[in-house]
Structure 1
């Protein structure tokens, strides 16, 4: 599943390609794709004619600003946004929504697993209702420090890896970056939230910021479900210290990287460096 750096990369690319374009038409091919009390004909009637005035990100959500409305897109497991010139557009059974834009551009939401979602809401109120009102602060927010994480997690008997994946506690961290953050912090992913002290939470907060910023700089990490645009892969996979490296030597101590399951998620760590 694309995480914060991947979604941020997608947002930045979309801004360069479709900001200021007008929506001339839209086709939606899956009813359940649009959440809330609006059907496809109503959605089409209201969104056609609107201009893409801004593209922002909140957690893993992409926010298309359309004057007094917003379209909130969550990629889920395999969602991708593709921008085509009209001449090179191709039909696909995996296009769930296709927007015809001004200047002969076409914007397509492509999702093999069909788990991605749209929410179409009012600009003034969308931050106060589902799904955005449930999204916590993210590590790139200056308020997210050791004290913040400790207050959110110190009473929990869940594993710290699981807590970092809980988007209601801290937003934007997924499986890949949780592994990398815990390795950089020298913390075992099986350690419980109530076993960590303030210094450990501070390490997590600081490393989360550093790693996510670096991942954004490198365009994210290429995984099965992610490309920032057609044919463009994220380069941060070359920087991974533990994730996907089971059985290989730790770059710091030479021990073998281990893969385990934590709450059903594949988890990679160094048993010597992380304690």
Structure 2
């Protein structure tokens, strides 16, 4: 699943491709991508102009004229690409926004898990899944004190806790493994047992890791591509994710992989301490 750095990269690459374009026609080859009445969705967005694109956690917020926003979640393998209107349809293209200039934005999704929801701009944090999310890394709200308070009530392992989007929004399996290795915390450590100094390190490392991953245009380990069809570069910097059985780059111990609540988790059994 694209995580926060990948979705931010999609936002940055998609915006200059579609900003200020006007939607002439909408085609739904797989209407279930739309969470509400599909016909109403088509009617309301047709004729609207793309004003800008924002993002919250893993959600893209495509702002339209008329005070409307398409809230788009890519889920596992959703992708956007801009094509000429007469480009042959790919079998995994499910939604098309045809623009008045002869180009079209297509949403492609092998698994069909992605979803789009049309809401009034400004209500997305109330009426969509965003309402259940915690704060984002590198935001003013994401302070060490915030993280300390949220972890103090979590009597479960730190890996699962950080994957809980109601705690820190936007983190996924890749970046949680990486930040726990960076902070020398064993993934099975009890979240509420972490000492304050470790939480402070964890907070800072989350911020720096996400910032670096965004700078590197995200991580491509499976099928992720940005809106220009380009892969990310952060996969070349991964220390543990995807490196099971290899020596730890810090201490040389062979990295291990276990399942934590059903999620593959790679870590160093020597230098990642259990709390």
**TM-score of the aligned structures, taking structure 1 as reference length:** 0.95
Q: State the 1:199 CA deviation.
A: 1.3
1:28 Cα deviation from its structure 2 partner: 1.0
Partner Cα distance (1:214, 1:58) in 2: 18
Paired position in structure 2 for 1:59: 57
Out of 161, 174, 177, the position equivalent to 1:176 is 174
Cα distance in 2, alignment partners of residues 93 and 104 from structure 1: 21
Residue aligning to 2:148: 150
Answer whether contact 1:147 1:201 (CA < 8 A) is retained.
no
Q: Does the Cα contact within 8 Å between 1:158 and 1:192 map onto a contact in 2?
A: yes
User: Is the aligned partner of 1:74 residue 2:79?
Assistant: no
How far apart, in 2, do the equivalents of 1:171 and 1:271 lie? 27
1:158-177 Cα deviation digits (max 9, x unpaired) = 11011111111110000000
For 2:98 and 2:190, the matched residues in 1 are separated by 49
Q: Compute the displacement of 1:231 (Å).
A: 3.8
**8 Å contact from structure 1 (residues 145, 206) kept in 2:** no
> Partner of 2:9 in structure 1?
9
Partner of 1:190: 188
Please tell me the root mean square deviation across aligned C-alpha atoms, in Å: 1.2
Q: Report the CA distance between 1:230 and its aligned residue.
A: 5.1
- Looking at structure 1, the residues matched to 88 and 184 of structure 2 have their Cα atoms a distance apart, in angstroms, of 47
Spell out, residue by residue over 1:98-142, the C-alpha distance to the aligned partner (whole angstroms, 9 max, x if none): 110132221011000010001111113222222221121111113
Task: Give the superposition deviation at 1:59.
Answer: 0.6
Alignment partner, residue 26 of structure 2: 26
Q: Residue 31 and residue 231 in structure 1: after superposition, are their counterparts in 2 closer, same or farther (change >3 A)?
A: closer
Query: Could you list the per-position Cα deviations for residues 42-73 of structure 1 after superposition, in whole angstroms to 9, with x for gaps in the alignment?
Result: 11111010000010101100000012110000
Worse-matched range after superposition: 96-105 or 52-61: 96-105
- CA pair 85-31 structure 1, distance change in 2 beyond 3 A: closer
- What is the alpha-carbon distance in structure 2 between the residues aligned to residue 102 and residue 161 of structure 1? 47
- Runs of at least 5 residues in structure 2 that lack an aligned partner in the other structure: none
Q: Which one of 138, 141, 150 corresponds to residue 140 of structure 1? A: 138
d(CA) in 2 for partners of 1:192, 1:114: 36
Corresponding residue number in structure 2 for 1:222: 220
Contact 2:244 2:257 in 1 (8 A): yes
1:84 maps to which residue?
Answer: 83
What is the CA-CA distance between 1:239 and the residue it aligns to? 0.3
Match of 1:100 in 2: 98
Q: Given that residues 28 and 96 in structure 1 are in contact (C-alpha distance below 8 angstroms), is that contact kept between their aligned partners in structure 2? A: yes
| Structure 1: gaps (5+ residues) | none
